[in-house]
Amino acid sequence: MGNAFKKRPPVVIILGIDDSGKTSVLYSLQKKNIDTVQPTVHSPLENLKINKYKMMAWDLGGKDKVRNLWRHYFVGSDAVLFVIDSSNRDRLMESKQELAKLLNEPLLKDVVFMIFLNKCDLPNAMTQQEIEDQLQIESILPPPQNASDLNRRIKIVTTSAISTNQNNSNIQDSFIWIIDQIKDRKKNFKKQLNRQQSVQ
């Protein structure tokens, strides 16, 4: 009998405040795979194919009023892709606040976090260093409770959803990193489980 749960592709939720470029990032990724994906009308749940791997992505709304709906997607998600508009200095703190909430969310404690500093093609975009100085990720992470908290899987990259081959491969590589991290996490989890069972 097939195990539907085990076989399901990894799920990523794409979050971030409105206008950061969440949908554009997804589109840019799909354009790259135009030969392999079926033409689909955009829906909140998109099926992706990254190299040989299947993945599912929730592209959720980021307006203030609908952000409280994000939590309904936490259970069952393997990764969060958090998108920041690096050209918008006025709203960087708003992004930081939302990111801090997510990083402190117990249901997301073990998921992989990928942070896109998007729109890096714009001339007024802040550099990664500038943004990291303001985000101070270390300061918004909850205090670690155990070893795995110390090794949270978080990566920050600059991206542009404007279609060029270089941008596409950047975004593509980031998704491959997400998939690798999810696989690694599952492997560790299985190892732990085996260890616990052998002790009992």
Residue 120 in marked binding region: yes
When binding is defined by CB under 6 A, the residue of 11, 23, 53, 100 that contacts ligand GDP is 23
Q: Does residue 158 have a known ligand-binding role?
A: no
Binding mask of the shown chain, residues 129 to 158, with x at each position contacting ligand GDP by CB under 6 A: ------------------------------
CB of 185 to Mg ion, least distance (A): 27
Kindly tell me the burial class for residue 135, based on how many C-beta atoms sit within 10 Å of its own C-beta (0-12, 13-18, 19 or more).
buried
Residue from the set 30, 77, 160, 168 that interacts with ligand GDP by CB under 6 A: 160
Tally Cβ neighbours within 10 Å of residue 191: 10
Helix, strand, coil % in the chain, rounded to nearest 5: 45, 20, 35
Each residue 2-21 as x (binds ligand GDP by CB under 6 A) or -, in order, gives --------------x-xxxx
- Report the alpha-carbon distance of residue 53 to residue 46 in Å, rounded: 14
Using CA atoms, how far apart are residues 33 and 87, in angstroms rounded to an integer? 27
Cβ contacts of residue 57 below 8 Å, gap of 6+?
Answer: 11, 12, 13, 14, 26, 45, 46, 48, 81
- Known binder of ligand: residue 19? yes
CB of 30 to ligand GDP, least distance (A): 13
| Amino acid code (one letter) for 171 | I
Among 15, 24, 77, 114, binds ligand GDP (CB under 6 A): 24
Would you tell me which residues interact with ligand GDP (CB under 6 A)? Answer: 16, 18-24, 62, 83, 118-119, 121-122, 160-162
